[in-house]
Amino acid sequence: MLFNKTAALCLGAVMMLGGCSENAKVDDNAATQADAAADPKSAIRSAIVARNFGDAARRAKELTETSPGDAEAWLLLARAEALSDNEGAALDALNRAVSAGLAEPNRVLADPAFDAIRDDDRFAAIEERANPSTLTTRARPVASPVVKKREQPEVEISDDYIRAGDVVIKGDL
């Protein structure tokens, strides 16, 4: 009889402790979901760090649907897709991020997450559009006296010197 009471008490204690741990797991899961709802970008970043690229891409797509003008949301989607080897989707999302006004494009486009798509022509076009200051611009001529071509030839060669513009090389040629 004493054995039955002890067994019943132990069984009850085990069930209570087991139930507590399940509730703790449920509470942790609820806290994680609450954090994701409060800051979806953090949840996406956490999924990327955890190498759960599919979940990160799904969450980022949801975020871009609710905030289509958010450049950072498009960037997170581009990172998740690039890390998932979804080249086309990554380039599309990266293009949308630049169109939405991506901040610090030089730093962002240097992200190793984009190494797999960096050689693509579309990536180069997106990079040029994101960094218009790096594009070549037409230089204005510096104020200088006008020299007519007939007054001084561009290149002059003689037996003991060569002159090309302002450069003169003398010697036994």
> pLDDT (tens digit, 9 = 90+) per residue, 80-128?
999 999 999 999 999 999 999 988 888 999 999 999 999 999 999 999 9
- Collapsing DSSP to helix, strand or coil, 167 comes out as strand
- Collapsing DSSP to helix, strand or coil, 30 comes out as helix
Q: CATH assignment of 22-134, given 3.40.50.11540, 3.30.110.40, 3.10.20.30, 1.25.40.10?
A: 1.25.40.10
- Collapsing DSSP to helix, strand or coil, 122 comes out as helix
Q: Does position 26 have pLDDT exceeding 60, yes or no?
A: no
Where do the domains of the chain lie?
22-134
Distance CA 3, CA 7 (A): 6
Distance CA 100, CA 85 (A): 23
Weakest mean pLDDT among 49-63, 94-108, 142-156: 142-156
pLDDT for position 155: 80
Say what percent of the chain tops pLDDT 70.
Answer: 65
Return the residue matching tokens 């693509």.
120
CA distances to 89, 154, 155, 156, 173 from 170, in Å: 62, 17, 14, 12, 8
Q: Does position 159 have pLDDT exceeding 50, yes or no?
A: yes
Q: Does position 142 have pLDDT exceeding 60, yes or no?
A: no
Q: Say which residue, 162 or 76, is predicted with more confidence.
A: 76
Distance CA 30, CA 41 (A): 18
Model confidence at 147, in pLDDT bands (50, 70, 90)? Answer: very low
